[in-house]
Structure 1
């Protein structure tokens, strides 16, 4: 596995470097004649990255009408909730780019479908019918407990198989109802990019990377879900110095 740990002095430098790398990656994919599919995530660091991508977009050759956007997970809330990952991404990134609305695939909101199960089923069907079969880049944040997307330590959703997206209930982090891609879906990515900042996540980063030289066991993944996703071509950990402090 091609594992790359990139350390940055602060969050701003991390966000800027990641944004530049993403733009270059999309340019390269389009130069090969491909339509890149990108998996977005939520959280404070993702907002910084989204703003940097939007700010630098005019300097790139990316054809934004030929980029397809997805989310690794979503909170099951009304579409206009400020806690929705999709709304945050629209405000910081997508509203500032000439994207094709047909290429932006949000997880259905709670005012559109009756349950998180319905949202997961609808999202899975959309990915089957309109997905490329893989992500060019899947970006993931990580919590202090080592969770990624909405797959939390010891939670039943961690063990989901033969599914693309699943409903998550009783999340240890509010809101309690969510939709998350499964490990099997997230593993279908050429590049997995973890972006993590802050000293509060340093222990989780160290725990995730302590088994990076081998395939983790199911028990190790249940304990620290971030251990369970690796890119088919590369896995990059984008860290500020605080998050890398235990390495």
Structure 2
């Protein structure tokens, strides 16, 4: 296993610092080549990790565009809203305006409409002909899912467009908007951040035993950031 694509930290503080340095490095690298940098965010434990270190970074905030790798089709006031959690824990600490954050419209009638609207917003966010995202930050569930791409679910086979929707998520809430597997794979830098021993066995399956059946294992050129508990078996 190459150390260049697997990074292991002693604890969450070290993991956040390691991730922060890498994000700063990638953003500054991309700034030499383009005006706007697109960064995809996932929910879960990643929110707290980013909230602990991102505000300390010296970044050109006006040139960054944050979007969501997936989002639950719920009001922003819901505890299940990824945007709502980022807004309360991170975004308020940063010098951002509405134009810096690309989010779904949960007031639309259906999740299908929401996905179409979100795709239009994302397409408008690309400043040039290159329609691939710069940095995508992913998480992984205990079943190996990433974004709202679940094992053995038909959503894994949808690759047209940037975005699709889920109406029957095996993990509640049932209705979600998510980037397609193809969209994630086309991103320039893909990073997965995982904490906790509960996911260590599945990480071993993917990294040691090369099990490609899990959605997270179908992401190409993925770089892993793990704490010691998650990396226990590798």
Q: TM-score, normalising length from structure 1?
A: 0.86
Which structure 2 residues correspond to residues 49-128 of structure 1 after superposition, within 5 A?
A: 49-54=50-55, 56-57=56-57, 60=58, 62-109=59-106, 112-128=107-123
**Distance of 1:183 and 1:5 partners within structure 2:** 21
Tell me the matched-pair count: 229
Aligned to 1:224: 214
Contact 2:41–2:67 (CA under 8 A) maintained in structure 1:
yes
Q: Distance in 1 between matches of 2:71 and 2:139?
A: 13
Q: How much is the aligned-residue C-alpha RMSD, in angstroms?
A: 1.9
Residue in structure 2 matching 1:167, options 148, 165, 190: 165
Kindly indicate whether the alpha-carbon contact (under 8 Å) linking 1:207 and 1:224 is maintained by their aligned counterparts in 2: no
Q: Secondary structure at the match of 1:74?
A: strand
Q: Under a length normalisation based on structure 2, what TM-score does the superposition of the two structures give?
A: 0.91
Between the aligned partners of 1:197 and 1:71, the Cα distance in structure 2 is 20
**Residue equivalent to 1:26:** 27
Alignment partner, residue 142 of structure 2: 144
CA distances 1:181-222 after superposition (whole Å, capped 9, x unpaired):
10111112111000001010112212232476xxx8xxx4xx
CA separation in 1, counterparts of 2:208 and 2:109?
A: 41
DSSP-derived class of the 2:188 partner: strand
1:40-82 CA-partner distances (Å, limit 9, x unpaired): 110023322233112x13xx2x210110111100011012112
Could you say what secondary structure the match of 2:161 adopts?
coil
Distance 1:72-1:33 versus aligned 2 partners, 3 A rule:
closer
Q: How does 1:38-57 map to 2 (within 5 A)?
A: 38-54=39-55, 56-57=56-57
Partner of 1:16: 17
Q: Which sections of structure 1, spanning at least 5 residues, go unmatched? A: none
Mapped to 1, the partners of 2:36 and 2:111 lie a distance apart of 29
Correspondent of 1:194 among 192, 205, 213: 192
Report the alpha carbon displacement of residue 228 of structure 1 after superposing the two structures with TM: 1.4
Residue 243 (1) aligns with residue 233 (2): no
Of 142-151 and 42-51, the range deviating more from structure 2? 42-51
CA distance in 2, matches of 1:103, 1:48: 20
Q: Report the 3-state secondary structure (helix = DSSP H, G, I; strand = E; otherwise coil) of the residue aligned with 2:5.
A: strand
Q: Which moved more, 1:85-94 or 1:62-71?
A: 85-94
Give 5+ residue unaligned stretches, structure 2. none
1:131 counterpart residue number: 126
Moved more, 142-151 or 87-96: 87-96
Q: Is the 8 A contact 1:43 1:141 kept in 2?
A: yes
Judge conservation of contact 2:159–2:183 (CA < 8 Å) in 1.
no
